[in-house]
Amino acid sequence: MLATGRVAKQKEIAQSTRRVANQGKATVLALGKAFPSNVVSQENLVEEYLREIKCDDPSIKEKLQHLCKTTTVKTRYTVMSSETMQKYPELATEGSPTIKQRLEIANEAVVQMAYEASLACIKEWGRGVEDITHLVYVSSSEFRLPGGDLYLSAQLGLSNEVQRVMFYFLGCYGGVSGMRVAKDIAENNPGSRVLLTTSETMVLGFRPPNKARPYDLVGAALFGDGAAALIIGADPTESENPFMELHYALQQFLPGTQGVIDGRLSEEGISFKLGRELPQKIEDNIEEFCKKLVAKAGSGSLELNDLFWAVHPGGPAILNGLETKLKLKPEKLECSRQALVDYGNASSNTIFYIMDKVRGELEKKGRGGEEWGLGLAFGPGITFEGFLMRSL
């Protein structure tokens, strides 16, 4: 009932306030989210986490308590639970070769979350699965052949001729990469409707704390699980309700920074190392990147504070640095900060959780809301992915 009511409300708003999408430009026609059932409150995380992994080191406890405060996260959703640890106690054993067990958990969970997010998205869209022509599937949390794209297609009942594209192990910018490719598909295949899904769990990266690997504790305090789904298409029909035009996309990497975000898959799962210079590298290069995107709006008078913003929050330091560097008003990154509070860093999904919050804010403002905005995400490479978007 709530989803139906929201769709009706959106269509009512659209009739009186909608801007017209540019002919041939890709638009976001619907958005859905899904989460595992296990909700982790940051207030209870330290005691629960240390109990599950049987750790009584006071220095690790103190460090984790500090991180839980500095991340600003309040709640997260996780596939990992006490039941998981009871079934797979070896996950809490340092050096244990557990990649088989981790993939056994992750492969199933990732597709299930993608399925639930897709159903929510398709319901909001209002058309049948038979009208989906392409699938773009994004995940850094599973690994198998065939991939989750095939399992998801079968579970949803998509045509066996649906055109599939799969992205593995792009990390936090994967959602924006998927959206960029979905845009290209939609704009170059008239009448196509692309289902884009992202789905992530931190099961592969879950490890017992080790003083030699301080970043493992950052992950324990910051990362969350979940899934998102979008329907993307150009030239919307009268029955469709687009809320965002994907006007222009840009990707770039920073030469010589491949080691700043480093992830390695081994018998123990996936391990990450983050260089302390990451926030500064982003801050040093973000202004030029944003100006390239804004220039495509064709309005020389458009200032950065005239835009709405959807920025993947790798952590508070990245948002703080970006806000300072670009001289943004505090409210400009509020949707990004609130997504971090509500979901943690959910990797490739997070940009879509933010876009959903941006959508809600723009709906409140009506025609008085910002027309143009930027969507940004950063990840291994260091890679920048960006979108110039237009609110409809």
Catalytic residues: 172
8 A C-beta contact, residue 223 and residue 344: yes
CB atoms under 10 Å from CB of 211, counted, come to 11
For the CA atoms of 162, 163, 169, 173, the dihedral, rounded to the nearest 10 degrees, stands at -100
8 A C-beta contact, residue 19 and residue 392: yes
Q: Could you check whether the bond before residue 382 is cis, i.e. omega within 30 degrees of 0?
A: yes
Q: Which two tokens stand for residue 328?
A: 């943004």
Rg (CA), the chain: 20
Q: CA 274, CA 282: separation in Å to the nearest integer?
A: 13
Q: CA 39, CA 292: separation in Å to the nearest integer?
A: 40
The closest of 259, 385, 353 to 31, measured between CA atoms, is 353
Q: CA 58, CA 160: separation in Å to the nearest integer?
A: 55
SS3 for 148-184 is: HHHHHHHHHCCCCCCEEEEEECCHHHHHHHHHHHHHH
Sign of the torsion formed by the C-alpha atoms of 362, 182, 177 and 33: positive
The closest of 317, 251, 327 to 336, measured between CA atoms, is 317
Sequence letter at residue 119: L
Q: CA 311, CA 152: separation in Å to the nearest integer?
A: 28
Buried b (16+ CB within 10 A) or exposed e, 28-64: bbbbbbbbbeeebebeebbeebbebbebeeeebbebb
Q: CA-CA distances (angstroms) from residue 320 to 12, 80, 277, 309, 392?
A: 37, 30, 14, 14, 29
Buried b (16+ CB within 10 A) or exposed e, 266-294: eebbbbbebeeebbebbbebbeebbeebb
Q: Which two tokens stand for residue 141?
A: 């949390």
